[in-house]
């Protein structure tokens, strides 16, 4: 099966600019996650979607970050305006089921490495 | 208190030895536990999952879970230089069942 697709792989922007990342999950995976991984740290959840609804966005800095999954398939994460501390790898992951039953691990995409200068 | 804690390392072992990686978690309601391997510059890759107390073996890898002690470990037997990576412990719990990751343990296997 095709994996989780993400683009772009790399992005360099200046602070206060905006940037958007795209993710297409594995076909049939209802749950989609965006994680932020700062160098030397573990991934931190930003937002979780179940189909096209938000399940958890408690750790998303909503003053500058937004995400959508309009048709329950692919998703876009946006940062506007970017800050230096947003430099990180943004990982998209998907799983068969995120809520209710099921104990599946995630499959991660290759990530987008963002550098804010 | 961090939700998922790992020794950051680095941990170095000689080739052929057993590498032991440890993880503790704070949420007693956690139900499933995962180990991911992350090579430098790459995304995390799932290598083991465990749900019940005891041991689970898969090739050279053994995951161990002790829910009473809130402790998960990963043993890598016959370590190879290709096992050199950061190992992330992840715990699934909470109402939304998302994974919470530790900060990872960097493992180096010396030839």
Tell me how far apart the alpha carbons of residues B94 and B109 are, in angstroms, rounded to a whole number.
35
B34 touching chain A per CB within 8 A: yes
- Residues of chain A in contact with residue B96, where contact means CB-CB under 8 angstroms, are 48, 55-56, 98-99
Average confidence (pLDDT) over A64-70: 94
Chain A contact for B100, CB < 8 A? yes
Query: C-alpha B75: how far from its chain's center?
Result: 9
Residues in chain B: 111
Q: Report, as an integer, the average pLDDT of B47-73.
A: 95
| DSSP code, position B82 | G
- CA-CA distances (angstroms) from residue A105 to A23, A48, A84, B36, B81? 18, 14, 31, 9, 26
**Whose structure tokens read 């943004």?**
A90
* DSSP per position, chain A: ----EEE-SEEEE-TT--EEEEEE--TT--EEEEEEE-TTS--EEEEEEETTEEEE-TTS-TTTEEEE-TTSS-EEEEESS--GGG-EEEEEEEES-SSSS-----EE---EEEEE-
Neighbour-count burial for B94-106, b at 16+ CB within 10 Å, e otherwise: bebbbbbbbbbbb
Distance from CA of B62 to the nearest CA of A (A): 17
Mutate to test the interface with A, among B65, B92, B98 (most CBs of A within 10 A): B98
Residue carrying structure tokens 């109402």: B95
| Residue A102 predicted with pLDDT over 90 | no
Give residue B102's pLDDT. Answer: 95
Mean pLDDT across chain B: 92
- A18-22, A93-97, B22-26: least confident range: A93-97
Predicted pLDDT of residue A101: 44
Chain B residues whose CB is inside 8 A of the A35 CB are 101
Contact criterion met (CB < 8 Å) for B44 and A108: yes
Given an 8 Å threshold on Cβ–Cβ distance, is A100 in contact with B98? Answer: no
Q: Is the pLDDT of residue B95 over 90?
A: no
Burial of B70 (0-12, 13-18, 19+ CB in 10 A): middle
A91: nearest CB among B43, B98, B102: B43
- As a whole number, mean pLDDT of residues B52-68 equals 95
- Give the tens place of pLDDT for each residue, A13-53: 999 999 999 999 998 888 999 999 999 999 999 999 998 89
pLDDT at A99: 54
A-B contacts (CB, under 8 Å): 57
pLDDT for residue B2 is more than 90: no
- The three-class DSSP label of residue B109 is strand
Q: Per the CB < 8 Å rule, is B96 touching A98?
A: yes
3-state SS, residue B16: coil
């Amino acid at each position: 099966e095709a994996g989780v697709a993400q683009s772009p792989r790399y992005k360099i922007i200046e602070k206060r600019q905006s940037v958007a990342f795209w993710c297409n999950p594995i076909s049939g995976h209802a749950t989609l996650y965006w994680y932020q991984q700062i160098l030397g740290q573990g991934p931190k959840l930003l937002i979780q979607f179940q189909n096209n609804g938000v399940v958890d966005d408690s750790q998303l800095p909503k003053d500058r970050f937004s995400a959508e999954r309009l048709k329950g398939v692919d998703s876009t994460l946006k940062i506007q305006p970017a800050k230096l501390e947003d430099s990180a790898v943004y990982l998209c992951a998907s799983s068969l089921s995120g809520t209710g039953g099921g104990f599946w691990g995630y499959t991660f995409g290759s990530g987008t490495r963002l550098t804010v200068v | 208190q961090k939700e998922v804690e790992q020794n950051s390392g680095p941990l170095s072992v000689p080739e052929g030895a057993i590498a032991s990686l440890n993880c503790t978690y704070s949420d007693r309601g956690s139900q499933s536990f995962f180990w991911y391997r992350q090579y430098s510059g790459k995304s995390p890759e799932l290598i083991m999952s465990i749900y019940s107390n005891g041991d689970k073996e898969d090739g050279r890898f053994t995951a161990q879970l002790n829910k009473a002690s809130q402790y998960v470990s990963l043993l890598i037997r016959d370590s190879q230089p290709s096992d050199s990576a950061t190992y992330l412990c992840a715990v699934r719990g909470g109402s939304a069942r998302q994974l919470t990751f530790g900060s990872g343990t960097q493992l180096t296997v010396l030839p």
